[in-house]
Structures are given as C-alpha cells and as structure tokens.
C-alpha cells in the first residue's frame, strides 16, 4: 500500500517547483507563484480520476471526515452510524463536531453489516459512514437503499481503498460525500493530507470555506474576504500537495502492482483448505491494498498470526487485538476519557455498549488476518513470501 515506497523524480520535481517559488501556502500570493497551484491541481486531478464534480484537499484524512460532516450541516446531537472495525479517526471526526458516534457490527465483508445499520437508526440518525477497510468496500447498494428510505446521508470513508470500484464507479464517488487520506502509509501519500469528493455544489462550497476559517474566497485580497459562517483551519500546504500531485498521477501504476502482488499471494493461499477470503460485495472490485482471510476460529487465527511472524512474513495484522482499529481497545471512547468536558449531547446519547452487542463483529474480526500488500516487492520476493505463508499456515489447518 504505501506510496512512499516508490518516491522518485516526479515527487522531487513538484516539490522543487514549490521551493523555487517560495509559496508554501495554497491560497493567495498569485504574483510570486509562477503559475504553480499544487493543491488546486491536485483537486482537479482527483475530481477527474474519481469521476466527480468537486474535490477539496485538506490537511489529513481525519480533517476530511470532519470537514465532510460539517459541510453537510451535521452538528451537536446528530447520530452518525459507523463500524466497530475502522481507524479511530471515524469517531474522532464525529466527536469533533459534537455529533454522536453509533457503533454498528461488521460482517464477512469486514465493513458495515446493512441489517445492523437499519436496526441502529433512530429519529436522530443523520449519516451512515461505511469505512472501506483494507482495500475492499461495504455493500454500497444495500446501504444506499437504506439511506434513501430513511433520508440519511451516505458518507464513504475510502481512506484505505483508493482506486477500488463499485459497479464500475470509484469508491468515494458513490455516496453523497467521500473521503480519502494521504497520510504517510496510504496508497498515495502527501506526507500528511486528505480529500473530500462530492457532486454536491453546496457541500463543496461549504468544505472550501469551512476548511479555511470560513473564508469565502471571493476576490484576490484575503484580508477583504467575507466569512459567511464559522470555520476552522484544515488547510494543506503546497509542499504536501506537491507530493500528492505526483502520486495521484501514479495511482494506476500502484494499483497494477497491488493487484499483481495480491494475486500471487491469494492463488497460493487458495490451495489451503480451511482458509476463507473476505467477501467482496457483488459489483465490487478491490484496490488490493491488503489480502484478508478468515481462519476457522479465534484460536487458529491467533496461532496463524504468530506463525506468520515466526516465518518472517511481516505486515500481517490480527486486528481483533489491535489498539487502534477495533472497538474492544477503544476504552478512551467507551469510557469517555477526555481532557475537557464532552458536549452534553454526547454524554447523554453515547450508548452504553454491552459485552455481547458486537458478537457478529467479534465472530468475523476474531478470525481475520489481513496482510499488507507492498508496492516495492520484486516478483521473486512475492513468490517467496507466498511459500512462507503456506508453510506457516498449513500445519494449523491440518490440526483442525
């Protein structure tokens, strides 16, 4: 996945152009910048590649989620449905605007279970936020239907699945809003950065203003611009955007490599009876950022995780025990450990989850191993890796 593995001349050239002009800010300084607008160019390239009308680049993926929610008018007391398996950024962005994260089960797609989503809807629900974890997507057809039936927004977190598609359309472009992260370990990186994509003119305008202190960006004098509503600073710098501009032009090359490496590993593991692969919803094509599979039960998954590491297969994750990606270790959220006071609405409305609330998530995530697909591997290395994985896993399955 990480695009930094293949940094090269394109990245250097774009960054050098920013340093040559000396304009590190994305707005203003028109006379000094030699016609170079890296953030704007990255937005144009993203909108074109993702087949949407608008893209807004911001300082991180978490910022993108926060700005996306704010741009659609989501605020205090609104409930946002999110999965139990995701990165902490999901609830951070929801809490940042005073809204309420409502945790919902994932199924064998490792993303939101549509039936559990429908059961979690209350009169206060405003948004369904599927997270396309580890290179593959939620069942967007089913979720879209639920959102239409109940008048809810669909906000896709495509931070880990850039380049994947659903029914022929890029992930992120199918919901009302879609978000990407370009942090250092994502498929394409800016160092730090993120983006919101949408076809909704109003959400885009709001995202543009909100992410820059409410500036309306009318005219050429920043000091004289108006502020129609409160905003914040989620701007990206031109230096970061320059790296992203190089990387987005290489996205399809990166996807080709991910698919190639994934396919070699998958073909090897398919020969092992007892291994089941994560379900990809009908009509979906993965970004191939990870290869995710299920062992017969939690014990064999734990053993598989250690056996892979022992055999020198790095980059395989057992998310069930992970501090950052699975609800079981989010005690700071579940026990409301904050520096200052939370908004009243959050304190009142945050559900008190019981231990058995997420038995479906536990069933699937407890049996799952996800292996990162790297770009920089040689074919030789991938084949070697495939044999090592088979060697590590086979004994565990024979004992079943």
Ligand X SMILES: *Cc1c(COP(=O)(O)O)cnc(C)c1O
By annotation, the residues acting in catalysis are 186
By beta-carbon proximity to ligand X, the closer residue of 194 and 300 is: 194
Q: Which residue is nearest to ligand X (CB)?
A: 61
Please report, to the nearest 10 degrees, the dihedral formed by the alpha carbons of residues 225, 231, 233, 236 taken in order.
-70
Return the residue matching tokens 């490792």.
110
Contact between residue 265 and residue 291 where contact means Cβ atoms under 8 Å apart: yes
By beta-carbon proximity to ligand X, the closer residue of 17 and 157 is: 157
Contact between residue 196 and residue 64 where contact means Cβ atoms under 8 Å apart: yes
By beta-carbon proximity to ligand X, the closer residue of 95 and 382 is: 95
**Measured distance CA(390)–CA(176) in Å, rounded:** 42
By beta-carbon proximity to ligand X, the closer residue of 63 and 369 is: 63
By beta-carbon proximity to ligand X, the closer residue of 234 and 293 is: 234
- List Cβ neighbours of 129 (8 Å cut-off, separation of 6 or more): 65, 80, 81, 82, 90, 94, 155, 156, 157
CB of 158 to ligand X, least distance (A): 8
CB of 94 to ligand X, least distance (A): 12
CB of 185 to ligand X, least distance (A): 7
CB of 188 to ligand X, least distance (A): 12
Please report, to the nearest 10 degrees, the dihedral formed by the alpha carbons of residues 77, 132, 39, 212 taken in order.
10
Of 158, 108, 105, 114, the C-alpha closest to 134 is 158
CB of 63 to ligand X, least distance (A): 7
Q: Which residues bind ligand X (CB under 6 A)?
A: 60-62, 86-87, 89, 131, 157, 159-160, 181, 183, 194
Compute the Cα dihedral for 331, 336, 340, 342 and give only its sign.
positive
- List Cβ neighbours of 188 (8 Å cut-off, separation of 6 or more): 3, 162, 182, 244, 247, 248, 250, 251, 254
**Measured distance CA(200)–CA(229) in Å, rounded:** 19
CB of 193 to ligand X, least distance (A): 7
Q: What is the DSSP string of 88-117?
A: THHHHHHHHTT-EEEEE-B-TTSSB-HHHH
By beta-carbon proximity to ligand X, the closer residue of 62 and 349 is: 62
């Amino acid at each position: 996945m990480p695009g930094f593995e293949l940094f090269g001349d394109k990245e250097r050239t774009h960054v050098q152009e920013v340093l040559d002009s000396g304009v590190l800010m994305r707005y203003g300084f028109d006379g000094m910048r030699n016609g170079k607008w890296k953030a704007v160019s990255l937005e144009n390239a993203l909108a074109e590649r993702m087949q949407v009308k608008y893209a807004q680049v911001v300082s991180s993926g978490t910022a993108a989620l926060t700005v996306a929610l704010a741009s659609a008018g989501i605020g205090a007391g609104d409930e946002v449905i999110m999965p139990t398996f995701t990165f902490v950024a999901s609830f951070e962005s929801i809490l940042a605007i005073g809204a309420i994260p409502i945790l919902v089960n994932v199924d064998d797609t490792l993303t939101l279970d549509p039936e559990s989503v429908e059961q979690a809807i209350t009169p206060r629900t405003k948004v369904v936020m599927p997270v396309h974890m580890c290179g593959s997507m939620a069942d967007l057809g089913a979720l879209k239907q639920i959102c239409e039936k109940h008048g809810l927004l669909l906000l896709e977190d495509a931070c880990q699945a850039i380049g994947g598609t659903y029914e022929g359309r890029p992930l992120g472009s199918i919901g009302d809003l879609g978000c990407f992260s370009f942090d250092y370990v994502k498929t394409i990186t800016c160092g730090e950065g993120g983006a919101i994509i949408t076809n909704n003119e109003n959400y885009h305008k709001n995202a543009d203003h909100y992410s820059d202190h409410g500036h309306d960006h009318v005219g050429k004098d920043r000091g004289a611009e108006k502020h129609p509503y409160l905003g914040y600073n989620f701007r990206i710098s031109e230096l970061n955007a320059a790296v992203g501009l190089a990387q987005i032009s290489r996205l399809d090359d990166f996807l080709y490599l991910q698919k190639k490496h994934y396919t070699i590993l998958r073909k090897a593991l398919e020969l092992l009876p007892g291994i089941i692969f994560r379900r990809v919803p009908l009509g979906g094509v993965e970004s191939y950022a990870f290869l995710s599979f299920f062992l017969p039960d939690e014990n064999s998954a734990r053993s598989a995780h250690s056996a892979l590491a022992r055999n020198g297969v790095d980059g395989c994750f057992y998310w069930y025990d992970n501090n950052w990606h699975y609800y079981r270790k989010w005690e700071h959220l579940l026990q409301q450990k904050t520096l200052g006071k939370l908004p009243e609405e959050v304190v009142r409305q945050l559900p008190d989850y019981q231990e058995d609330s997420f038995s479906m998530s536990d069933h699937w995530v407890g049996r799952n191993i996800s292996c990162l697909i790297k770009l920089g591997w040689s074919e030789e290395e991938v084949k070697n890796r495939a044999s090592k994985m088979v060697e590590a896993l086979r004994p565990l399955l024979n004992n079943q």
